[in-house]
Structure 1
Amino acid sequence: MSAQEYVTLEQCQQWAISQTSANVQKDLNEQILKTNLNNESSYLFPKLSINGRFSYGNVDVSYPHPWADDVNMARMQYHIGLDFEQVLFEGFRMHFGRQFARLQNEAEIAKIDLSLNEVKDKIVSIYLNLLIVDKQMGIIKSVQNTYDEQIKRLNVMLQEGVIPQNTLSQLEVEALKMQQTYDELQANRESLVSTLEILTGKDFSHTEFLMPNLPDVDNLDTNARLEYKLFDNQMRQMDFQRKIYLSNSLPKVALFATGGYGRPDYQFYLSHPDWYYLAGVTLKVPLIDWARSSGFGKVIDIQKEVLASQEADFRKSNMIAIQEKQNEIVRIEKLIQLDSSITAKYAELTKTYSGQLANGTITVFDYIKQHNDELQSRMNQELHHIQLLKAKYELMALKGIL
């Protein structure tokens, strides 16, 4: 950062985001999504398995018919073969499962983006507090310069015997108090800069923080918050959970084939080993799962009602917060309208008091009080401007625009 003298709020936000693990998390979630999609597609993958069996019975099995006296099943039986199955229709289980996996991934990405918004909010707070401290330090430095000039003038007057020593001492004490306040602000600034450096991974030792422009918040959409996207996502997830469960109650169609070598083969009455095979189509139609599916659907409906009520409560509280923040912005804007006039009046009075102090018509206490009043008015003017900035950024956050 030594080569860059000026920094903006937006730059700090981007640097802070780059320091988080958000991109890594998003990449990992993409890998999880690909794996889940592949797992859901596996329902249509062909299945091939090896099966074998060996058995020995303690009695001979024969047919109880005179014409079948010569037909006896062997006591020792064995076979080894391959079983193959290819699903043709699985009740749309794969389609619904893949859609559900995508929705889960979208929800995780939205949660990561929400965490990034929290980082942005934190940067805004630190950055604006830094600006307030910088403005206060600048104002106090200006007052210190004025005090130094007054102390020099009073020193001359003291040497000429015009004023007593305590008049000069009182102003010197006030100058020391100003230095004390300046040192406190300097320590506060160093703490804020240190925090900002940790969050952004940058060095701000020789950096000036630029004042951001007032954002336009009048025409922003109030429905852009990521929380609304999450509510909608959860609703759709529940719909697909229902569809996935219902798919278990739909007919299933598959090709099958089995073959191998064994004793006996499909001619069970022959005791010699031989090759065998069988192929065909299977159809499975669940008959008693509809009642369970209906109950599961009712549970989903209730969960959706609960989620809808939670969304309504969140929307209501957010609208209240937006209205309160808009009222705060209006209040601060009214204060700012008079700040310039108030500060100008105080500056005129301070100039008058300075001359009166030199003439001895007022005490140094009167001058210090007047100077402190001007100092407070100047600080209020700067504070109100940054408070307005902060309120508008907070309104942007409430509307989901950062």
Structure 2
Amino acid sequence: MDMKRAILSLAFLFAAALTHAQLTLDECRRSAQENYPLVRRYGLIEKAREYDLSNAGKGYLPQFSLSGKATYQSDITQLPVEIPGVDIKTAPKDQYQVMLELQQTIWDGGDIRARKRLTRAASDVELEQQNVDMYALNDRVNQIFFGILLLDEQLKQNGLLQDDLKRTHKQVSDYIANGIASQSDLDAVSVELLNTRQHRIELEASRRAYMNMLSAFIGKEIPGSVSLQKPALEEMESAGVNNRPELRLFDARNEQLRVQEATLNARLMPRFGLFVQGAYGNPGLNMLKDEFNAYYMAGVRMVWNFGSLYTLKNDRRRIDNSRREIETGREVFLFNTRLQETGQHAGIVSMRRQMEDDDEIIRLRGNIRRAAEAKVENGTLTVTDMLREITNENLARQTKALHEVQLLMNLCQLKYTLNN
């Protein structure tokens, strides 16, 4: 396993190098699915199915049984007549028997076939439940992936703000030399620059924590040179068709109930089989012979058990009740999914509308910032007011970047909700 994981890690790093050291969302989700410990349950489910089917099929094999008994009885069979001069022996009151019996099923009323179908149906339910559990992993990877993208955008805007503040620091230094600004103005710029650097340290620490979580999920160490590739908008578009694995789980459970109902009918059928008995005991088949003898018996046996008729009606009612519970669960799931889809659609529309004005806001904030710099140079505006406009322009750029990532995240969440 360690060697396999090492090979996969090397392949992962090689693929990352070929793609300009960028890691996509689909690659992360695939790796997380392969690395998650629960993935091993797929093989366990398949093995359990094979074992159960094999065991059910062995019901057609000959069945051997060995039995023995020793008894003492209060009376024995006697002839009601006496023949002069003839000693008629009778069986002893203490009797012994050892028997080996072979049974071969001819027809079991469809019970073995029903058990095989029930095994497959139960295995399908387990498999679909496994798919549901594994699908939920995608949402956790999505949250971490877009959290890192958002931090990357914030770090990018933080770098731009530091560049602006450094440029402003040089300008204010020149203003001091020209008598336009004072040392306190330069100190104010320095404080803003230090605050921005501190914020960057916080953002970088958060990004490292998120990257460590992503590495744990995908089971591979992500080098610092590897960045996350932002998904394209067209890749996030989804059709309005619900294809969640939970729906297939509901179908599998309904099929399991249908097979269980068919199994009830098989329990009502008679069973036919062959048998051969070989025994040694006293008495043998001749009950009037007081000695140990070996004997055998062969024939055809029919067994028809009517006991299941007592519970048949309640068993069917229980299955119908379970079927209604499944349908109720399906309706609740679809209702909640439609609510999520409606809210996510509204969020996507709102985000698109907000993004329409982001570029214009940034352009206007840039004009205001440049006007503030000119006023400071002319001595009609304080450096503090100019810093506020620089911060406002940076916030406008951050808001645009935030909207872009949030739109992608909302689209991705809608794809997860519908599994498109």
Would you say same fold, with TM above 0.5?
yes
Matched, 1:399 2:399: no
Please state if 1:51 is matched with 2:67. yes
Shift of 1:211: 0.8
**Which residue matches 1:262?**
281
**Residue 41 of structure 2 aligns with which residue?**
25
* 1:259 to partner: Cα distance: 1.6
How far residue 269 of structure 1 moved from its aligned partner, in angstroms, is 1.6
Q: Is the 8 A contact 2:254 2:323 kept in 1?
A: yes
Report the residue type matching 1:86 in the other structure: Q
Distance 1:118 1:9 in 2: 15
SS where residue 161 of structure 2 aligns? helix
Picking from 210, 234, 237, the partner of 1:192 is 210
1:88 aligns with 2:102: no
Q: TM-score, normalised by structure 1?
A: 0.92
Q: Which consecutive unaligned segments of at least 5 residues does structure 2 have?
A: 1-11
In structure 1, the gaps of 5 or more residues are none
Match of 1:234 in 2: 253
CA distance in 1, matches of 2:126, 2:77: 63
Pairs within 5 Å for 1:297-312? 297-312=316-331
| Counterpart Cα distance in 1 of 2:354 and 2:28 | 29
**Alpha-carbon distance in structure 2 between the residues aligned to 1:72 and 1:399:** 84
Following TM superposition, by how much is the alpha carbon of 1:61 offset from its aligned partner in structure 2, in angstroms? 4.7
Report SS of the residue matched to 1:253: strand
CA contact (8 A) 1:63 1:69 kept: no
C-alpha distance 154-45 of structure 1, shift in aligned 2 (>3 A): same
CA distance in 1, matches of 2:362, 2:175: 30
Give, in angstroms, the shift of residue 342 of structure 1: 1.7
> Partner letter of residue 219 of structure 1?
A
Please name the residue that 1:202 is paired with: 220
User: Is the contact made by 2:283 and 2:293 (CA closer than 8 Å) also made in structure 1?
Assistant: yes
Code of the residue aligned with 2:167 in structure 1: it is: E
Judge conservation of contact 2:236–2:408 (CA < 8 Å) in 1.
Answer: no
1:384 and 2:400 matched: no
The Cα offsets for residues 250-301 of structure 1, whole Å up to 9 and x where unpaired, read as 1111111112333322121223433321111111223353242122111211
User: What is the CA distance between 1:220 and its match in structure 2?
Assistant: 4.5
Letter in 2 for 1:42: K
Deviation at 1:71, TM superposition (A): 4.0
Closer/same/farther in 2, CA of residues 2 and 35 from structure 1, 3 Å limit: closer
Give identity over the alignment, percent.
Answer: 21
Cα drift, residue 384 of structure 1: 0.8
C-alpha contact (below 8 Å) 1:8/1:211 kept by paired residues: yes
TM-score (norm 2): 0.89
- 2:348 pairs, out of 319, 329, 340, with 329
Q: Distance in 2 between matches of 1:56 and 1:114?
A: 64
Q: 1:2 to 1:299 in 2, by over 3 A?
A: closer
- Per the alignment, residue 367 of structure 1 pairs with 386
Distance 1:320 1:57 in 2: 78
* Equivalent residue pairs, number: 400
Q: CA–CA distance in 2 between the matches of 1:58 and 1:117?
A: 72
Worse overlay, 13-22 or 57-66: 57-66
Distance 1:288 1:165 in 2: 100
Out of 180, 191, 199, which is 1:181 matched to? Answer: 199
For the residue of structure 2 that corresponds to 1:81, the secondary structure is strand
Deviation track 1:208-255 (CA, whole Å, cap 9, x = no partner) reads 111112234342521x11111111111221222222233222111111
Per the TM alignment, residue 40 of structure 1 is displaced from its structure 2 partner at its CA by 2.1
Q: Name the CA shift for 1:301/1:59 in 2 (closer, same or farther; >3 Å).
A: closer
In the alignment, what sits opposite 1:38?
A: 54
Deviations 1:101-137 (A, max 9, x none): 1122122222222222222211111111111111111
The one-letter code sitting in structure 1 at the alignment partner of 2:201 is D
Partner Cα separation in structure 1 for residue 73 and residue 232 of structure 2: 92
Report the 3-state secondary structure (helix = DSSP H, G, I; strand = E; otherwise coil) of the residue aligned with 2:80: coil
Q: Is the 8 A contact 1:80 1:261 kept in 2?
A: yes
Task: Report if the CA contact (8 A) 2:180-2:377 is conserved.
Answer: no
The alpha carbon displacement at 1:73 in A equals 1.2
The secondary structure found in structure 2 opposite 1:66 is: coil
Matched to 2:185, the amino acid is T
Deviations 1:162-200 (CA, angstroms, capped at 9, x unpaired): 322222222222222211221221121121112112222
- 2:9 — aligned with what? none
C-alpha distance 297-58 of structure 1, shift in aligned 2 (>3 A): closer
